[in-house]
Each structure stands twice: as structure tokens, then as C-alpha cells.
């Protein structure tokens, strides 16, 4: 009887998927039909994971693979030093530590990438405690080493290195906890990622799937063969791991990929219908001319919005100040800074994808764990004003201004005691004090008597995490609030205004 019931449910799901209108290779139809899922708008906080072969040398950044080949004869500028040309400091370090790249190439780090202490369950325990609702491991970075079981390249984590399906293990553990699972692909830039010259030992045809095809010049248009390989590997990721989220790095935004934009988008969204779940396609660049806004999720790397967006968006940023992948001199941001970022982003109709960089042995360093667990403790107190929330009519008030742009100086400032951010949960208003004031009171100017933003009568005010009665007075100058005698948490403090 159980088998019959299960069969009927499967058939019903199959028929339901195909009874829906399918996505066509037509941008107008996709933009009209697709909507960012409510589950994603509710989630607000996810974990990005940059982990791969580059964690073995643990020097410079996750771009080690590129920079180690920029020698004294190279005209290529290297990552982290825009405009500066070779030899890169990574190349000099590599020669001194491992020998010339022709003698010890990037491929030779792969046997050292053992992941001997990797435990997907332990990682998900940490991520769950952080309060994150989704994770997005890097399935393949620009170095083209696949962290999954690929049938299109021998350079993968099952056949080499760890000899394990890293993406598959993370997917299974994520599902156990009812969290959402995504993957990111950075493969499109692989063709231009490595400087390839015979004297560097990386031009042999047998290495092409790793180092990419030999090109006549850098920034050359991707070949049809390369795009075909990219498409096969990407659809294999989709088919085999059924990700709720698919994230693309730059490279895919090149105009030469326009046909693949449309083909891949309709393919992935139709797979979501087949799986009977709502999926999210994400791209970080502003230059997606053929990926119309509304057809995918807009992502801002290491940046934030200066205003409330009328569409839902995301910031991806790293716990590390100086890298995404683990490096021996990794510098973690302060938890306060990241909590400020999270609240500011959510107040402007966005979500945060926060990156961790595990070591090559598969452990997440303590300083990164500490940040995640502190964020989780804060969310236990204040999560009702974050998860499932929507923006207020204005995002907040205060003197600190956010300047949009990758690593802009203005978007890395901590918010101060005069800065306030708002969120809404239905009709419930929340006001976050981004820093505890020197005196035990705060004046919220936005909520002054007779203000046009919030016309409801304020009956009571409480602070999340505190059971103290809060005294307040609404005047024409603002809402004067006497704060509790103790701080209920260590970072941004949420007032619940009833």
C-alpha cells in the first residue's frame, strides 16, 4: 500500500511539473514568468565557501594559480595589484618555496590537497549554529578543478586530491538540516585565467582541461569548444546536485556567452519545475545585458546598496579582509562589522552571502568559526526582525553614508550610535540601534510625532532579548526611548515598536 501511495505521489508531482507553463528561450517570457522565491527573500543569510587546491599554498589569495605564472617576462597585471605587472610577488614566492613553475606547477599541488579532516557534518553544524539558511560552495573556481564528481574532466576531487565528492557530501548534509543548497561556478574565466607559455610548463594538450586552451592573446573571445565544455559541466552540476541556488562569477557576463545565458537560464528554471521546487539564479556583475533584471538575482560583491531596491538583491562578501580562500595571513573582520552589514543589507531589501575559507585539510579556522557562532548568538535574540522581514518605507536614519562599489571605502565603515535601521514583519516595526549610545537614551527622529512614515499610535516598546519595561515619549523632535539597564546582546540592538 505504501509503495502504491508513493508511486501515485511521484506521478502526481511529475504531472504537476509538466502541467505548468515551461520556460522558453525567450527573455520576455522568462522575465514575465520568473519571480525570486519567497523562501529566498525570507532566508536573508547564507554561507559561501571558497575551498580548493589554492588552499594548499595558502599564500596571496585564491588567485594563487593565476599569479604564480606571472613571471618577469609577463605583461599581465595580477590580481590584488591592479596595473602592476610581473613578476608577481606570488611568482617570486613560488620559485623560492617550490621551484620554477615549469618544475612544480599548479597541478603539483593537487596531491597535497588531501582534505583529510573534512567532515561535512561538522561544517553544517557550524553553519546551522551561525543562523544561515543556505550554503553555496564553490563547485569550480577559475582554476577549473572540479570539487565534484565530473564526467567531463579528470581534474576533479573524486579522481584526484581528496578522492571525495565534496559538493555531494555537502549537499546531503545540508538536506538533512532542511537548509537550502547552492553551487557556484567560476569556470567561464578559466580560458583567460592562466598565463600559458611553453617555458612555464603548462601548454601541453594533456593539461588543457585544467589550464585552459592556449590562446593567441589574453582576453581572447571564448571558443565554441570552450563554451560547449562550460555548458556540459554546468548542466551536469545542475542535473546531479539539483541546486536550489546557482551562482555565477564574472566571465559569464561576456557578450560571447549571450546564447548560453538564455539557454542555461531556461534549462535551470525548467529543472526547478521538474524538481517541484523554486530555484534562484544569481550573477554578480552589472553587465548582464542579456540577463535581464527580474530574470535572475542581482548580486553585489563586497559592496552594499545605498538605498532600498525595488527588487530583491544580495551582497556576497568574505569574513576575510584580504582573501576568499584560506591564506596563512588571513585577517577576519570583526563580528560587529558583519552584523552591521547584515542589518543594513536586510533593511534595503537584500540578503547576505558570507564567505568562509577552510584550510586544505578541511578544517574551518577558529577565528572564522568564532565570527559565525557570534552571529548565530545574535540572530537567536534578533532573528524575528531579520528572517522573513521586509523593508520599512525608509531603510533608516543617521550620519553614516554607504557608498556603493566594490570595496568602496564608504561601505566598510561600522555604523554608529546615531545610525538606526528598520525592518518590518507584517505590520510589526523594528528599529535597530547600530551602537549602544553613551547615555542610556536614544532619540529616533524618523518616528517623531506626526511623521508620515509611521502613523500608528505607539503603545509599547520592548527590546528583543530584554524583559525590562521601556519608557518612551513621542515628541515633534522624535521618539525618545529610555533603554534597558543592560545590553541583551553584543551587537546591534533591536527595538520592537508596537
Superfamily (CATH H level) for 400-497: Golgi alpha-mannosidase II (2.60.40.1180)
Domain ranges within the chain, ordered by starting residue: 25-57+64-301, 400-497
Count of positions (residues) in the chain: 498
CB 428 within 8 A of CB 469: no
Indicate the helix (H) or strand (E) that contains 121: helix 120-130
pLDDT of residue 73: 86
The DSSP bridge pattern shows strands 134-140 and 180-185 to be: parallel
Query: Got the DSSP string for 399-426?
Result: S-----STT-GGGSPPP-TT-EEEEEET
CATH assignment, 25-57+64-301: 3.20.20.80
CB 460 within 8 A of CB 435: no
Which tens digits make up the pLDDT trace of 436-459?
Answer: 999 899 999 999 999 999 999 999
Q: 183: which strand partners? A: 246
Angle at the Cα of 327 from the Cα atoms of 326 and 328, rounded to 5 degrees: 130
pLDDT of residue 410: 45
**pTM (predicted TM-score):** 0.94
Indicate the helix (H) or strand (E) that contains 48: strand 45-49
pLDDT of residue 407: 60
pLDDT of residue 409: 44
pLDDT in tens, the chain (498 residues): 545 544 544 555 544 544 589 999 999 999 999 999 999 999 999 999 999 999 999 999 999 999 999 999 887 765 655 556 679 999 999 999 999 999 999 999 999 999 999 999 999 999 999 999 999 999 999 999 999 999 999 999 999 999 999 999 999 999 999 999 999 999 999 999 999 999 999 999 999 999 999 987 777 889 999 999 999 999 999 999 999 999 999 888 888 898 899 999 999 999 999 999 999 999 876 555 556 777 889 999 999 999 999 999 999 999 999 999 999 999 999 999 999 999 999 999 999 999 999 999 999 999 999 999 999 999 999 999 999 999 999 999 999 988 887 664 445 678 999 999 999 999 999 999 999 999 899 999 999 999 999 999 999 999 999 999 999 999 999 999 999 999 999 999 999 999
Q: Name the grid cell of 348.
A: 534595503
The DSSP bridge pattern shows strands 479-482 and 472-474 to be: antiparallel
**Residue 84: partners with Cβ closer than 8 Å, 6 or more residues away:** 77, 78
Q: Phi, psi at residue 398, to the nearest 5°?
A: 130, 165
pLDDT of residue 81: 56
pLDDT of residue 2: 47
Amino acid at each position: 500500500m505504501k509503495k502504491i501511495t508513493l508511486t501515485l505521489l511521484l506521478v502526481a508531482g511529475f504531472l504537476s511539473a509538466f502541467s505548468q507553463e515551461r520556460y522558453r528561450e525567450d527573455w520576455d517570457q522568462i522575465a514575465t514568468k520568473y519571480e525570486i522565491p519567497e523562501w529566498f527573500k525570507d532566508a536573508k543569510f547564507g554561507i559561501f565557501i571558497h575551498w580548493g587546491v589554492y588552499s594548499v599554498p595558502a599564500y596571496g589569495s585564491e588567485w594563487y594559480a593565476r599569479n604564480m605564472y606571472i613571471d618577469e617576462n609577463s605583461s599581465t597585471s595580477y590580481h590584488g595589484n591592479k596595473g602592476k605587472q610581473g613578476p608577481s610577488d606570488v611568482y617570486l614566492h613560488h620559485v623560492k618555496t617550490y621551484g620554477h613553475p615549469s618544475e612544480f606547477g599548479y597541478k603539483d599541488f593537487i596531491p597535497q590537497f588531501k582534505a583529510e579532516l573534512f567532515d561535512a557534518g561538522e561544517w553544517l553544524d557550524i553553519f546551522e549554529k551561525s543562523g544561515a539558511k543556505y550554503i553555496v560552495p564553490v563547485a569550480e573556481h577559475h582554476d577549473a578543478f572540479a570539487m565534484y564528481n565530473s564526467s567531463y574532466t579528470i581534474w576533479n576531487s573524486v579522481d584526484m586530491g581528496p578522492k571525495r565528492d565534496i559538493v555531494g557530501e555537502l549537499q546531503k548534509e545540508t538536506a538533512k538540516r532542511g537548509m537550502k543548497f547552492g553551487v557556484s561556478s567560476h569556470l567561464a574565466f578559466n580560458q583567460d585565467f592562466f598565463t600559458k607559455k611553453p617555458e612555464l610548463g603548462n601548454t601541453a594538450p594533456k593539461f588543457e582541461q585544467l589550464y585552459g586552451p592556449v590562446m593567441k592573446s589574453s582576453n581572447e573571445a571564448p571558443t565554441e569548444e570552450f563554451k560547449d565544455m562550460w555548458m556540459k559541466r554546468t548542466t551536469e552540476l545542475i542535473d546531479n546536485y539539483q541546486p536550489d541556488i546557482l551562482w555565477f562569477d564574472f566571465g559569464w557576463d561576456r557578450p560571447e556567452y549571450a546564447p548560453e545565458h538564455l539557454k542555461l537560464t531556461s534549462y535551470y528554471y525548467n529543472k526547478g519545475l521538474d524538481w517541484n521546487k523554486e530555484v534562484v539564479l544569481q550573477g554578480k556583475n552589472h553587465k548582464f545585458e542579456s540577463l535581464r533584471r527580474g530574470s535572475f538575482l542581482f548580486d553585489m560583491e563586497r559592496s552594499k546598496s545605498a538605498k532600498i531596491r525595488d527588487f530583491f538583491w544580495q551582497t556576497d562578501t568574505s569574513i576575510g579582509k584580504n582573501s576568499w580562500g584560506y591564506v596563512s595571513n588571513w585577517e577576519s573582520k570583526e563580528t560587529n562589522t558583519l552584523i552591521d552589514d547584515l542589518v543594513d543589507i536586510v533593511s534595503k531589501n537584500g540578503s547576505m552571502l558570507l564567505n568562509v575559507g577552510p584550510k586544505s585539510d578541511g578544517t574551518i579556522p577558529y577565528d572564522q568559526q568564532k565570527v559565525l557562532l557570534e552571529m548565530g548568538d545574535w540572530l537567536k535574540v534578533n532573528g524575528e526582525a531579520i528572517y522573513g522581514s521586509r523593508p520599512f518605507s525608509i531603510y533608516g536614519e543617521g550620519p553614516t553614508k554607504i557608498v556603493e562599489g566594490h570595496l568602496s571605502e564608504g561601505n566598510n565603515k561600522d555604523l554608529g550610535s546615531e545610525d538606526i535601521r528598520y525592518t518590518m514583519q507584517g505590520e510589526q516595526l523594528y528599529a535597530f540601534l547600530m551602537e549602544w549610545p553613551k547615555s542610556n537614551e536614544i532619540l529616533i527622529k524618523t518616528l517623531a510625532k506626526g511623521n508620515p512614515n509611521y502613523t500608528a499610535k505607539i503603545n509599547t516598546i520592548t527590546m528583543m532579548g530584554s524583559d525590562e519595561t521601556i519608557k518612551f515619549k513621542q515628541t515633534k523632535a522624535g521618539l525618545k526611548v529610555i533603554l534597558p539597564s543592560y545590553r541583551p546582546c553584543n551587537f546591534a540592538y533591536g527595538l520592537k515598536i508596537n
